[in-house]
A and B are shown apart, each in its own frame.
Chain A
Amino acid sequence: EAGVAQSPRYKIIEKRQSVAFWCNPISGHATLYWYQQILGQGPKLLIQFQNNGVVDDSQLPKDRFSAERLKGVDSTLKIQPAKLEDSAVYLCASSPFGGGPYEQYFGPGTRLTVT
């Protein structure tokens, strides 16, 4: 079974530029999560989708971050404009429908460096 796919794996941008990350969850997984993991910290949930609807985006900085999952499959996360403090690994995870919150499978992440 293929895992969660993410691209790009690495991205370096200057502050105030825009960036987008892509995630393709495990086939058939209805729930998709985006996490931000800053160096030395645990992952922090940014947004959770159930199919193509948002379940929780309370931690998403909506003035600069946006995410969508239009067809209920793959998802994109965008930052516009980026700040230095956005440097982090952005992890995508997916979970099967009906699975508990712990049944999350993580992708390899996108490492973002903002200079």
Chain B
Amino acid sequence: RKEVEQDPGPFNVPEGATVAFNCTYSNSASQSFFWYRQDCRKEPKLLMSVYSSGNEDGRFTAQLNRASQYISLLIRDSKLSDSATYLCVTTGANNLFFGTGTRLTVIP
């Protein structure tokens, strides 16, 4: 079983829409969770951490549900520049486990 599973999409949404991604993780002992963003043909970059209490950064909100072992990312008021692949990430002892990524395209 994969450490992290995500719906690969693609999600095609109009500008201004709200879109949500979920991912599930298999290791109940995972301590830390993140969302990375990866633009086409670029390297992954940390978007935000995911805290147990949920956290918000501008138009982005991340949630963690430990009981159900899933993580979510909500993007409000989508911009064209949000078009990218969003990678769900959990941690092992010393490294990261990446999901396959969910591809988002924001349409004008």
Contact B44 A43 (CB under 8 A): yes
The segment from B13-21, B60-68, B71-79, B93-101 found at the interface with A is B93-101
Residues on A lying within 8 angstroms of B by beta carbon are: 31, 33, 40-45, 48, 55-56, 91, 100-102, 104, 106-109, 111
Interface residues of B (CB under 8 A from A): 4, 8, 32, 34, 41-46, 49, 87, 89, 91-101
Contacts of B101 in A (CB 8 A): 41-42
Query: Closest residue of chain A to B103, judged by CB?
Result: A40
Nearest B residue to A108 via CB reads B43
Say which residue of A31, A33, A56, A100 sits within 8 Å of B32 (CB atoms).
A100
Q: Which of chain B's residues have a CB closer than 8 A to the CB of A111?
A: 41
Give A106 Cβ to nearest chain B Cβ, in Å.
4
